[in-house]
Amino acid sequence: MVGTKAPCLIWICHSSRHSSPQVPDPQRSRPCPSPRFFLVEPNLRLCDDVLVEPRRPTYALLMVAMDESYQTQIWRGASAAAKLLGIRLMTFVGSSIDHKHKLPHRHDWEGGGSLINKLANSPEIDGYLPLVGCLGNYEGMHLVEEFLDWLPPKPLVCVGVPLPNRFTVAPGGGGIDEIVHHLVQTHQTQDFVYLSGPLTNPDAMRRLSDFRRALQEVDLENNPENEIFGDFTTDKGQALVQELLATGRRPQAIVCANDAMAIGAHKAILAFDLNVPEDLILTGFDDTEEARSMKPPLTTVAASVFQIAYRSVELVHEQFLGGVAHNETIPTEVVTRRSCGCLGAASTQRLPSLFEPNSDIPDLSRLLTIFTDEEASATFQKRLGKIFDHSSRAELDIWEERIVLASRQTQSACVARNLLDAHSALNSTRQGLESTQRLELQHQIRGQFRAIRDVLADLSQEGFAERLMTGLSQHMGFPLRMFLFHEDFRPEDNPAYEGDSFRFEMDVESQYIGPPRQTGIIPPGNDPGIWCFMPLRLGTEHFGIVQVRDWTSNEVLLEGLRQTLTMIFSAAHKSWEETSLRAKFEQLAVRDQMTGLFNRRGLLEQGTLLANLAQREHQYLGVAMFDLDGLKEINDRFGHKDGDLAIQLLGQSLVEGFRQVDVIARLGGDEFAVVAKMNPDGSLDGAVERVRHSLTRLSEELGRPWQARTSGGWIVWDPSEGTGLESVLSRADQNLYNDKKHRKKHQKT
């Protein structure tokens, strides 16, 4: 291999449990082990059978939501495959493509969440896994097909829903029709209402067709009024069934096209004081975790969603490695539970068939053989605790199902006692697992709450990024990065969602805050990892994206984290805008618009502060008044625009003649006032003369056919006398008047 000039493939097989799951091979009757492949670049070496610097492919899973059970199962299945294959998985969570949020390459879109998928068009991505049904849920498949055509020509496998001329892993046909047959034959159901998905969704249309065909097969009338069209969401399912029941209609059964709508329908049924299945039978499709834990558990169709996602990753990987691509279907299975009136099996969750052949769970006959032999049973019982501790909840369910079945088949009291002991150990392990998961979930919730609390306690702009980083690093405890469109955290209403469109990066793991360290947003490096990319979006406000790596907790918390960060950014930005606007309004209230100097209100406020300081320090102040000589003549001969210029020149001359600590104001017209600190010798250090010289110079530089001149008068003010500033201004104004009379008299002579 040393000195290789062309890329080649290395096949590394593993046989340990869960390191290489058994996967169905369409060409074989028995499962085959899934290998791990790496694409080796030229000049790479194998040292002692260890591959050095393998080229790990990176695949993009394109989803719509992380808070919906069907898609979280897709995420888990794809993540499991990525981990076991040693590849990198980048999951982009956007939104469905609809008529408002069109394709990324069009110019007539109104910035939507689906545009995050544009980031998947990156040279670092080696293949694509679009969740087709969800992406095209509202507008149909034509926009999805256009989007996929826009992506670069790389390996691509459609997940869940087939598209023409695309490789796909999808559930096999049937399921809804089997449910109809079961309800008619077992529960004598004659009156159905079908809650369908949207007409634009191929999955929804296929299931609707199965429902109609099943009614014909059992000789029941297909009444279009009994077909209700939803959008596969829980909220819509609840709303539609509420409308149905409000009309007084009480069907014997509501058959739903997915579990999410069935869960919503169940809420509506309970709101009308009806019970499932006593008053109304309810079924779903997908066999999600929520369906299993619903009370009563939901009769549904197990579509092997986990396995579909897993196989999709494997197939896109095989394409990348140059294998022959093909379509694949995963069988569906009706799972009867109490929502239709059946008791159902002991198991409420099913281990994906992908993993079962490699599990440590013996089949029924083997289990009975073990517990019949006292010595073998004793040895096996000692191992059970450790086996259970490393089992998933689904595996524990399979264990329970087989232990219960074995106890029913044995006639031996000794074997029954051993099985009872095993069942007791299993229940103890299950309780521990559930407690651990609950505590982990509580820990994550507390962490998010503390981080939010710490950040919201101080939304001031100075040091905001550092405070946010500290809160996230102290309470979150997992790798997280954010890319923002603007370094000042302001939102973008019409984002480009390009790799180089972000201006600010925050990395909790490395504690980096600053400009993006790379052009694209795909994490650098060659380590395997499961990254999730989510838009920080609230309405039309787009702040950027958040990336979370190797998330293992509840996916709803991940969506909660995204929304929390978005609301923090939105709240902070609005707070800063309000502060800025308040400062502007306050400035307008105390500032003169023509000159930018203080107005009378500003003079009184700032002059009083300066007077209080002078009184504490036992100092005197000088209060001076100025106005323009001959302003009326300038206005009459050259216009008011020139008169305004003369006023502005006097204001600028005052700024040049006095110090920054002095308070300078325009009181109105051409009348100005200054409150200034006195010099130790009791003078203004020639400030009045400096103002006059500056005004002459500025007039000459302006080059207008008039010369701006000023008269001024000032007095010394001792703030400790108790005389108010208004009174002092009147005395200074009298001195201004005297100076003006003197200057006019001097000009005449």
Question: Is position 303 within any domain?
Answer: no
Question: Is position 243 within any domain?
Answer: no
Residues 410 and 490 in one domain: no
User: Residue 115, Cβ neighbours under 10 Å: how many?
Assistant: 25
Residues of the chain with pLDDT under 50: 1-45, 51, 99, 101-111, 346-347
Instruction: Quote the pLDDT of residue 481.
Output: 92
Residues 443 and 514 in one domain: no
Domain boundary among the residues 561, 587, 613 is at: 587
Question: Is position 429 within any domain?
Answer: yes
Residues 618 and 569 in one domain: no
Residues 561 and 482 in one domain: yes
Residues 597 and 583 in one domain: no
The C-alpha atoms of residue 320 and residue 308 are separated, in whole angstroms, by 18
Residues 656 and 696 in one domain: yes
CA dihedral 603, 608, 611, 615 (to 10 degrees): 180
Give 59-117 pLDDT, tens digit per residue. Answer: 999 998 877 778 888 998 999 899 989 999 999 988 777 645 444 443 333 445 567 87
The C-alpha atoms of residue 151 and residue 161 are separated, in whole angstroms, by 18
Count how many domains the chain has. Answer: 4
Question: Is position 179 within any domain?
Answer: no
Q: Are 80 and 91 in contact (CB under 8 A)?
A: no
Residues 574 and 696 in one domain: no
Residues 476 and 535 in one domain: yes
Residues 387 and 433 in one domain: yes
Domain boundary among the residues 439, 457, 475 is at: 457
Question: Is position 397 within any domain?
Answer: yes
Question: Is position 67 within any domain?
Answer: no
**Where on the phi/psi map is residue 597: left (φ > 0), alpha (ψ -120 to 50), or beta?**
beta
Question: Is position 272 within any domain?
Answer: no
The C-alpha atoms of residue 482 and residue 141 are separated, in whole angstroms, by 32
Residue 645: in which H helix or E strand, if any? helix 640-657
- CATH number of 615's domain: 3.30.70.270
CA dihedral 605, 607, 612, 617 (to 10 degrees): 150
CA dihedral 349, 352, 357, 363 (to 10 degrees): 20
Range of the domain at 464: 458-587
Instruction: Quote the pLDDT of residue 356.
Output: 66
Token readout for 708 is: 């701006």
Q: Are 733 and 625 in contact (CB under 8 A)?
A: yes
Q: Are 153 and 325 in contact (CB under 8 A)?
A: no
Q: At what angle do helices 393-409 and 413-456 cross, to 10 degrees?
A: 160
DSSP assignment of 214-257 equals HHHHTT----GGGEEE--S-HHHHHHHHHHHHHTT---SEEEES
Instruction: Quote the pLDDT of residue 389.
Output: 82
The C-alpha atoms of residue 433 and residue 390 are separated, in whole angstroms, by 10
Residues 630 and 564 in one domain: no
Question: Is position 129 within any domain?
Answer: no
The C-alpha atoms of residue 374 and residue 150 are separated, in whole angstroms, by 66
User: Residue 656, Cβ neighbours under 10 Å: how many?
Assistant: 14
Q: Are 508 and 472 in contact (CB under 8 A)?
A: yes
Domain boundary among the residues 457, 475, 505 is at: 457
**Angle (nearest 5°) at CA 545 between 541 and 547:** 155
Residues 568 and 614 in one domain: no
Residues 701 and 638 in one domain: yes
Instruction: Quote the pLDDT of residue 523.
Output: 86
CA distances to 141, 152, 161 from 164, rounded to whole Å, are 10, 18, 10
Instruction: Quote the pLDDT of residue 48.
Output: 52
